Amino acid sequence: MKTKITKIAASALLLAICIASPAKAQVNAGIIGGINTSAVEVRNLDNRFANETMDGKNITGYEVGAFLKLKAGPVYLKPALMYNYSRGKVTANNQDAIFKIQKVAVPVMFGLHLVGPLNIEAGPVYNYVTNVTEQYNSTNITLARNGIGYRAGLAFEFGLLMINASYEGMTYPTTTGQTTFKEPYKFILGAGLKFGGDGK
């Protein structure tokens, strides 16, 4: 897992450098964190369950991490490495259960400055699940660990302070016939602090 995360993070960093270097971009690094609310959907559960689905809404949690921002004129590239923890109630086998998930996320955001402190940004996100609840009412299931999705939203910058509001969707691909797992939506409200540079 560490090797895969390292390769993806390194690829994102290399992409940022390749894009930004010709334009002599401004470079900032910093820390970022946020709170989130999301949903989970699990499909194709086996016949040990009363039905073949498991759903949960109001799955809440937080994320923390670090980012690198490379800006050239009004555009920028912002890869990040994040840790995310979420927890909430799901309905499985016609009974309620607690769902927990921990993961490492690598979002690579492409941004555009609009006016004043306002920016828009969007990009792909890779998730690796490090720990997830796989036992529900004494029955075990196996969920995919690698997720591919997207994130888009607004980012406000006030000097070195950043505030962002984002929407994310995530799918964890599996082979045909296996249990499928996805997070159809996630709303994220976060803040960050840039280090170095002039805060732009």
**Tens digits of per-residue pLDDT, 72-81?**
999 999 999 9
DSSP code of residue 52: S
Q: What is the CATH number of the domain that holds 159?
A: 2.40.160.20
Q: Is the pLDDT of residue 125 over 90?
A: yes
Q: CA–CA separation, 152 vs 149, rounded Å?
A: 10
Give 53's pLDDT tier (boundaries 50, 70, 90): confident
Does 200 map to a domain?
A: no
Query: Structurally, how many domains does the chain consist of?
Result: 1
Q: Is the pLDDT of residue 196 over 90?
A: no
Which tokens sit at 36?
């989130």
Does 54 map to a domain?
A: yes
Does 116 map to a domain?
A: yes
Does 52 map to a domain?
A: yes
Domain range for residue 161? 2-195
Does 169 map to a domain?
A: yes
Which tokens sit at 102?
């921990």
What pLDDT does residue 54 have? 85
Statement: the pTM of the whole predicted model exceeds 0.85:
no
What pLDDT does residue 46 have? 64
Does 96 map to a domain?
A: yes
Question: Three-class SS of residue 177?
Answer: coil
